[in-house]
A and B are shown apart, each in its own frame.
Chain A
C-alpha cells in the first residue's frame, strides 16, 4: 500500500458517501483510504494485471479497461468525482480523457508532476532529462508520454472550456503558494465543466 501526500488534498475535496471513479487506481490505496474516511461508493479503473489483483486484495471494486479507449459505457454525470492521481502524464489522449472525466463526473480531480519545476528546468539546462521524486523514471523507461507544466495545463483548461475550481501545488509534499509553475513539483486540480 502506498500513501501519497496528494491523497490528503483529494480527500478534502470528497464529501462523505460520494460516488467516486479512480482512473489508473494502482493498487487501490486511494480508494481504500476514501472508503475508510469518507465511506465513498468507489470504483477503480486499472489495466495492469498485477495492480488489478492488488485492488482485489485491498477489497476495492476494480474494472479492467484501457483508458486510452475512453470511458464509453459509463453514464453521463454518474460519479460525483472522477479522480486521476499522477496518471494523466502517462496517457496519450490527454484531451479525450479529460473530456470523458467531466462527462461521467460532476467534477474531476487531477494530479500530475510539474515538468516546469525549477529542479527539472535546472536538469534540462545541464543537458539531462530530469529525474526526481515526482519524475522518478529515466527517459528510456518512463511510462510517461506527455511532459507538461502547470502553465501548459492551465492553458489547455482555458482553451477547452474546463473550469479550474481549485488548484494546489506542492514542492515534494510542502504547499507552494508562490510561483507554483517554478516552485512546485506536483499540482492537484479540481476541475469542472464551464457553465
Chain B
C-alpha cells in the first residue's frame, strides 16, 4: 500500500468572469474573479472531478502547501491527496473560494470597478445558491460537465446539497458531512450574536472600515470566540482545558486566568488578524438564509425530489451545532424520494470540528465511498 502523502506544493489560480451574475438578493455582480486550486488530473472522459466546498472560515486552499509558505497547509489536507480517502491519483479535486470571500475571490475587500473603491458594505448579499451558480460557471470553464462528487462539511455540505438541486444532471454524488438541511433558530441565534459583535464594533464604520484604515478586530475576535465554543463539545473542552489555571490559583482580575480563556483569545486574535469582517457577516447570512424546503411549505422531501444524485451523509455524535438529528432529516427526506443514500454517525468527542479531523472510522467511510464511486 502506498503511504498516504501530500499533494505537495500547490498554487492558487484565478478565473475572471465578465458575464454579470444576478444574485438571489436582487443584486448584480457585473464581473468577478474566483480563486481556486486543483489537485490531480482531469481524465480524458472528464468525469473524475470532485468539487470541495468550504465552510464559514475555509478557502480554496484545501490541500498541500505553498512554495513560499510551507506551513500554510490546506484545511482538508488529511483527506485529500495521493493515497488519502479522496485520492488525487484517481480524482481531479477542486477547491474554490466562495463569492464574497476574503482569500482572493471577489468580495467586500475587492475594488468595485464602478467606484474605484473597495466594495465594503456595498457588496451585495450572496447566498449558497449564488455560490453554486458561480461555481457552475467555473466548472464550464474547466470543461467539467458533471462532477463525480460535490463534497463539503458544515456550510460546505449545504452547498453540495444545493448543487444537486440546482444542477441535478451535473452531480453524480453528494457527500455532506456535519451538515444540516437548514439552520435552526439556535444556530441563527449564534450567528446573530456574532454579527452584533462586529456590527457594534466602533471600528466597523458601517462596513466601510477599509477607508478608515482600521478593521473591527474586536468584534471579529468575539464572533470567532463564540463560534469556536460552538464548534467544540463540552467534553472536548473539558478534556483539553478543564479548569486549568494559568497561575495555579485565582488572581481576581480579568486577565487570562483559565487556560480556556487563553485559548479562545488566541484563536480570536489569530482569526481577526486575517479574516475580513464583511465576509464573516455575509457568510453567516448565507448560512441563515439557506433553506431548500422554504419554497415547498417546509417539506424537505419535496425540496430534495429534484436531486438525482447518490448521497453519503455523515454526522458526529458530539456535534451539537449541526447535530446528527439534522443529518437524519436529510437522510429520511432522501429515502422518501428513493434516492441512494448512506448515512454514517461517527462516534467522536470533538464536536462540530470533528469533520476536519482524521478519525479512523470517519476516513474509512469516506474512503470506501470514494472508492466505490464510478469514474
Question: Chain A: residues with CB nearer than 8 A to chain B?
Answer: 19, 41, 43, 49, 52-53, 55-57, 59-65, 73-75, 78
Contacts and interface: CB of A to CB of B under 8 A. Distances in A.
27 contacts: A41-B338, A43-B335, A43-B341, A49-B347, A49-B361, A49-B364, A52-B344, A53-B364, A53-B365, A56-B342, A56-B372, A59-B372, A60-B342, A61-B342, A62-B342, A62-B343, A63-B331, A63-B342, A63-B343, A64-B343, A64-B345, A65-B345, A73-B332, A75-B332, A75-B335, A75-B336, A78-B336
Max count, chain B CB within 10 A of own CB: residue among A56, A60, A73: A56
Given A43-B335, A74-B335, A57 B368 contact: yes
Nearest to A79: B335
B296 interface: no
Contacts of B328: 73
A61 B342 CA distance: 5
Contacts of A65: 343, 345
B342 A55 contact: yes
Contacts of A60: 342
Contacts of A57: 368, 371-372
Contacts of B342: 55-56, 60-63
Contacts of B365: 52-53, 56
Interface of B: 328, 331-332, 335-336, 338, 340-345, 347, 361, 364-365, 368-369, 371-372
B336 A61 contact: no
B340 to A, nearest CB: 5
A64 B344 contact: yes
B369 A56 contact: yes
Contacts of B341: 43, 61, 63
A14 B260 CA distance: 58
B368 A53 contact: yes
Contacts of B331: 63, 73
Given A49-B364, A56-B365, A63-B343, 15 more contacts: A41-B338, A49-B361, A52-B365, A55-B342, A56-B342, A59-B372, A60-B342, A61-B341, A62-B342, A64-B344, A65-B345, A73-B331, A73-B332, A75-B332, A75-B335
A56 B343 contact: no
B368 A56 contact: yes
Nearest to B371: A57
B358 to A, nearest CB: 15
B111 to A, nearest CB: 47
A55 to B, nearest CB: 7
A57 B368 CA distance: 6
Max count, chain A CB within 10 A of own CB: residue among B344, B361, B372: B344
Contacts of A53: 361, 364-365, 368
A52 B368 CA distance: 10
Which 4 pairs across A and B sit closest by C-beta, in order of nearness? A56-B368, A49-B361, A63-B343, A73-B332
Contacts of A61: 340-342
Nearest to B370: A56
Contacts of B335: 43, 74-75, 78
A61 B364 CA distance: 16
Contacts of A19: 338
Contacts of A43: 335, 341
